[in-house]
Structure 1
Amino acid sequence: MNIKNSFLVAASLLVLGSCARHPGETVRRGTLYNNESNVDSEGYTFFKRVHEKALFEMAFAKYIQSIPASAEAKELAAKVAETYEPMIAELAGLASEYSVVLTERTEPDFVVPHHFETDSLGTFDNAAGYVAHVQHEQGAILEQFERLTRNTNKKLQEYALEKVPTVKAVFAAAGGQEDHGAHH
């Protein structure tokens, strides 16, 4: 074996060894440094989108509950908060099982969309806009859960099947209706 081949073998071992798990490490280096996960792309997309939307909707619902808004908006916000508060922790726990790194936003990071801010008197008169917003976002979240029901991972399928009725209830409370004849 000449020096060139020896160098290639050494370089290959170095590269392959850097991705392996070394003694004392809890996860592989590829997982730590390359964002590798133990779930397919559909599951990865589900975790990222639903977790981020759930965090935003939860913070937005708390905001709506804290300002003078209509009873309809506050009731819907309470239903959203009741649905997503436990789900955020469940998603984070499930994602960590599959090595999916989720953003950890806190409420100070929440910024109210400008068209939902209170007016100069501190009143909120955009209840219909909030309901439409919730309906749209719940439709997007429901779509992600329905996709997950067809995932190849049985544990994720079971989780989605368990949560779909809850998400559908919030979607229906916001006035959303399932389009049974739609082709996605």
Structure 2
Amino acid sequence: MRLGVGDHWTPSEVDLTSFRSFKVIFSSFPYTYNSNVIDAKVQIHNSSSEMYLSVVLQVNEELDDVYLNYSIALDLDEANYTVLANRTLNFCKFLKQHSLDSVLRNIYEDILKEGNFIKKCPIAKGLYMLREYRIDEEMLPSYVPEASFFVAMKISKANGQVLFDGKLYGKIDKSKGFNNLKMFSLG
């Protein structure tokens, strides 16, 4: 779309994601899971036009008193990751009281927009999906540096039995922003 002097546009005519100053790109997600309790499939799709993560979890038994350990780290100095957050929390309590962890709350609320992911405890037997999830870059502060990152996740029962253990790798690429700004030139 090219706007001339006196032309008008509505927000629905503009891809507002074009104005973001960076793009979050997923590169890999190695993981293991306890096949006696759950089945898991994680898929990353990266192309020049679309980048997303999809997750399918089949929970084979009702789960209560589940714990989540997560870490978020940036690689600011060539394979020397700096851990920004490392927390363990009772996931079931978190689902009941989102105020327990504001960082995780923001990410989890964004995740819940895509699919039918886990919303309450006890976690019932059944199929849970996260479809074509893209990180909403608007949630991240504008001063986020261009860097590689990882998000590590370990989900376990109260007795320590690990249900899922994975690490999502990616990068924050600031060269991907403002791609379509030129189409808004006047003239």
TM-score tier by shorter-chain length is: under 0.3
Instruction: Using CA pairs under 8 Å that are at least 6 residues apart, name the structure with larger relative contact order, 1 or 2.
Output: 2
Higher strand share: 2
Q: State TM-score, norm by structure 2.
A: 0.26
| Greater fraction helix | 1
* Structure-1-length-normalised TM-score: 0.26
Please identify the structure whose Cα radius of gyration is greater: 1
